[in-house]
Amino acid sequence: MLALLSVSDKRGLVPFAQGLVRLGFELLSTGGTLAALQVAGVPAKKVSDYTQSPEILGGRVKTLHPRIHGGILGRPDHEGDQAEMTANGITPITLVAVNLYPFRQTVASGAPEAEVIEQIDIGGPAMVRASAKNFRHVTVVVDPDDYESVLLELERSRATSEDTRRRLMRKAFAHTAAYDASIAGWLSKEAGEPFPHELSLTFQRVQGLRYGENPHQRGAFYREHSAPDEPTVAFSRVLQGKELSYNNILDLDAALGLVLEFPEQPCAVIIKHNTPCGVALDESLVTAYRTARAIDEVSAFGGIVALNREVDRACAEALAETFLEAVIAPSYSAEAQQVLSAKKNLRLLEAGPGLASPTARPRAQLEARSVSGGLVLQDKDAVEPPLEWKVVSKRAPTPEEERALRFAWRVCKHVKSNAIVFSNGSRLLAAGGGQTSRVDSAKIAVARGGEALKGSAVASDAFFPFRDGLDEAARAGATCVVQPGGSVRDSEIIAAADEHGMAMVLTGVRHFRH
């Protein structure tokens, strides 16, 4: 029996090869894989010795040879194949363990183009695809995590089952498809082409989910192959708690995106059903959290919390006072973890030190949403283009009002349209969104905020189509307003602001969130 081993990921290689030799396999190998086997004392033949053809072009051509591909693709139950293999001295290769050049890792390292190009594997994908195509007769292994189960099956039955070979075939084609997608994605990025004519996306499954948004829906969680520079939910470390649910993941992502808006000082965000119900800043993280929770304690129950500084004991004790689904933070002190460990079901996620950086900001990246039969792709609404707010009212905002307006404007980006947000300079006061009319969002926010809205700032994610929404804000006590402008009734809206004595600024940028 003949097996070919050629891997860039050498985890578990030597024990796997030793097991194959014990089972009577003769091994063929190349390059670094062969060297690793020789160092370990595992007998293996160099592919070029087997093919009687030298490796050429600096190693670009090693396995592209009829004795290799004929051995992989030949069908022992096909009379014509067997005659040709015998005539050409080709031995069947019944097991192929190959994983591909580290293309993604090389890109992530910042290597120059020439070095990246050399990590585009040619022979590896050809062998993987050939082996997978001939799965009825060849066992193809692309993941070192499968070595142990393959060896156990070979030891037990002297062969792998068709079910196993089919499973490994599916994994092999997914492996080469993801590899090619990574190359295509890199080439598009290098060309400055964010929306290529053919789009290939590739993700790895992190975990299966008990269910999706509702118990009758199936679900799974996937992430990119390489961690991005910015903190993400997908690459956060889960320290404790129940398995993350579909809804937890969405809410954690929303919370993280909002807390990244305020890197300059400690910030606490509370999300419920993908909507902010508490946002506050303070020099003390525990005070920021208590302030955020007090904004809407009813909604905070069972909420998701994001914090942008390390959780200490005092903050952990405050978190433990309320039932929460999950918390995401840069890190947790040992004392904080001890306090929160009593909350066995509370999910704790550690996003890493990048979340605590005073320069952390939401990064521009692409986001995708599925629609029936397709996908829509766009730049994430992360960093606004440079802009100067334009004062259009008779009265300009005071410095304190401008601070409150900028806080409200950052938050309103994260509230479902039509979004209306009331705040002061350091905390959310009330928000309304997800309504079919802007005035209804304003009424909801006013009902929630009550007397707390006296002297507040108000932000609207898009222009006021009529003055009714602004009138609601003024009656609630707001003294200043920020909105994109651009309505055919802008002059009427501005006149209403002047009538109420409100300062109004226009951004020229809207923040719809559907």
Catalytic choice (46, 225, 242, 273)? 273
CA distances to 31, 277, 279, 292, 472 from 350, in Å: 40, 22, 20, 20, 41
Cβ-based neighbour number of residue 119 at 10 Å: 17
Measured between alpha carbons, how far apart are the two ends of the chain, in Å? 59
Beta 267-272 vs 303-307: how paired, if at all? antiparallel
Buried/exposed code over 11-42 (b: 16+ C-beta within 10 A; e: otherwise): ebbeebbbbbbeeebebbbbeebbebbeeeeb
Let me know if 133 is a catalytic residue. yes
Tell me the C-alpha distance between 416 and 462, whole Å.
11
Amino acid at 393: S
Of 251, 195, 108, 509, residue with least CA distance to 379: 195
Catalytic choice (133, 225, 242, 394)? 133
DSSP class of residue 512?
A: -
Let me know if 137 is a catalytic residue. no
CB 478 within 8 A of CB 450: no
**Residue 465 CB contacts under 8 Å (≥ 6 apart), including other chains:** 438, 487, 489
Cβ-based neighbour number of residue 443 at 10 Å: 18
Residue 197, Cβ density class (10 Å: 0-12 exposed, 13-18 middle, ≥19 buried): exposed
Tell me the C-alpha distance between 188 and 88, whole Å.
43
Q: What are the catalytic residues?
A: 133, 273
